[in-house]
Amino acid sequence: MRDIRNIAVIAHVDHGKTTLVDQLLKQSGTFSAHQNVDERVMDSNAIEKERGITILSKNTAIDYEGVRINIIDTPGHADFGGEVERVLKMVDSVLLLVDAQEGVMPQTKFVVKKALSLGHRPIVVVNKIDKPAAEPDRVVDEVFDLFAQMDATEEQLEFPVIYAAARDGYARYDATDGNMDFKPLYDTILKEVPKPNGADENGLQLQVFTLDYDNFIGKIGIARIFNGTISHGETVLLCKADGEKVKGRVSKLIGFKGLDRIDIKTAGSGDIVAVAGFETIDVGDSLCDPTNPMPLDPMHIEEPTLSVTFSVNDSPLAGTEGKYVTSNKIDERLKAEMNTNIAMNYEQIGEGKFKVNGRGELQITILAENMRREGFEFCIGRPEVIIREENGVKMEPFEHLVIDTPDEHSGAIIEKLGKRKAVMTNMVPMGEGFTRLEFEIPARGLIGIRTEFLTDTRGEGVMNHSFLEFRPYSGTVESRKYGALVSMENGEALAYSIFNLQDRGVMFVKPQDKVYIGMVVGQHAKDNDLDVNPIKGKQQSNVRSSGADEAIKLIPPRVMSLENALEWIEEDESVEVTPISIRVRKRELDPTVRKRTAKKEKNA
């Protein structure tokens, strides 16, 4: 049997997981000398490259001193917690990365809790020790305290520590020992990560932890073999989570090496492989020996906490910028997404309307961003948290929120979050003029707060949150303080009218932008909505007046990204998303109908 080690890289977002995997690949000689390799090579998706974040867990394999090391790079964002949870069941240990300056963050706690509960003994990598304000010793103490808090066993508390600067490509046993390559990390992996227990002689037990899709071969299950062997063309039994059993043939067996996927004939216990040939394969399903099936326990996957409504675009500009505009196309695309994305689900809730449930705003906006790049046109409503009932009590999701802010802004932040039903649980001075604040807050209180938070902290604040638990409903939460400036005409916005509207609030449109009745063209300075005319031109006459031709000075409009727009809108508004534009609009375009509805709600 081959010598194998299976390991996952876990950490809070932006602590350097993907950069570390890059170096592991490069220094193991996986890439040939002439091969030109991108930075953060594992982030292959266009949005991952742009934002510098990992969205999907990905696996790779390297050979080092005759040992095959399977590595899985995981996402750090709380919204993708479902991905991390599944991956941890497939490995025998984890590399826990912690930033030498920032220390333990909310997502670190989330992933550590999962890893320790599965009995893994992590290798702690204190990364970014080259930062000027790095304090590796403090961070190791923080990690130890965290493990103790999570009821780690004696063995888990004896964790090995490696100090690294992944970007510069070195790892050390001691932060000051001067070593300049990754050898200490490879050696620690070989020494500390247990070999897979399981044997090729046993009956087949393979479990799927993530899905892929290929237009030619259909659904692909990426899985770990816990026992036995599997071969191309072999007939095996697919055991589903609900107890259903289906016989099928392995039409393709794929192995991993570096960034390449290689067709292989056979694989044995401990290997991580991709299997095709089963249309109904799903995450958590097992493939077993048909003569003596022993399926593995299905996985528990965290439930979605947020939902948004996707609907067909019905604005006057519908169909002018996108390729796919019908409800059938949107339905097909959502169905394809659910084929591979297990943490989301959707249902049709009316003609051309789909309710999509996910783990957070980021996860849903990334789906919307991918769809618009593919040529889709649609509308998205305001995100709403999923509320459930337990024993007659309304329950809603709560989040653990950690904020690092300059000292002078902490008062304003605490006051603002207090209005959103947040309870402060901790306040720690971080040095260098920064304070760390920790809160427990209803997930509803986080919708629409990011933009305000960045404004309040002058762009210097950092905000992170992770799912805590469902708790009893906490009453109404304050939302947007300002009204909207709503267009009452169809046409193109003119500089003259925008200039006159600037005093009323912040504009979202610039001259020559197309506008229509019911489209939101700006944020009102007061708390009520105001109907305005952005296409009104200057009256021409042949009488000259003094001051007639004063130069018009326009303030640049606020450019709405998809996230900003979703955070900004209220319940009676939606975001029109096309491959070219993102527009905010009233759900009901007709002003008279809007007023009638508002009156009814007031009297109700």
- 18 is known to lie in a ligand binding site: yes
CB 552 within 8 A of CB 571: no
Q: Are 355 and 309 in contact (CB under 8 A)?
A: yes
Whether residue 342 is annotated as binding a ligand: the answer is no
In the 8-state DSSP scheme, what is residue 324? B
Handedness of CA 134, 461, 400, 343 (dihedral sign): negative
Residue 14 annotated in ligand binding = yes
Pinpoint the alpha helices (H) of 264-344. 327-340
Task: Write the DSSP assignment of 27-60 as a string of letters.
Answer: HTT-S-TT----TTTT--SHHHHHHT---S-EEE
Helices (H), 80-153: 81-88, 106-117, 136-149
Is 17 annotated as belonging to a binding site? yes
Distance CA 193, CA 187 (A): 10
Q: How many CB atoms sit inside 10 A of residue 546's CB?
A: 6
Is 365 annotated for ligand binding?
A: no
Burial 183-216 (b: 16+ CB within 10 A, else e): ebbbebbbebbeebebebeeebbbbbbbbbeeee
127 marked ligand binding residue? yes
CA–CA dist 143, 125 (Å, integer): 11
114 annotated as belonging to a binding site for a ligand: no
355 marked as binding residue: no
Q: Which helix (DSSP H) or strand (DSSP E) does residue 500 occupy?
A: helix 495-501
Within 10 Å of residue 42's Cβ, how many Cβ atoms?
24
Known binding residue 16? Answer is yes
At a CB cut-off of 8 Å and minimum separation 6, what does 562 contact?
A: 365, 368, 369, 372, 575, 577, 582
The answer to whether 4 and 271 are in contact (CB under 8 A) is yes
The residue among 390, 382, 388, 442 whose CA lies nearest residue 418 is 442
285 is in an annotated binding site: no
Question: Which residues belong to the annotated binding site for GTP?
Answer: 14-19, 127-130
Question: Which residues belong to the annotated binding site?
Answer: 14-19, 127-130
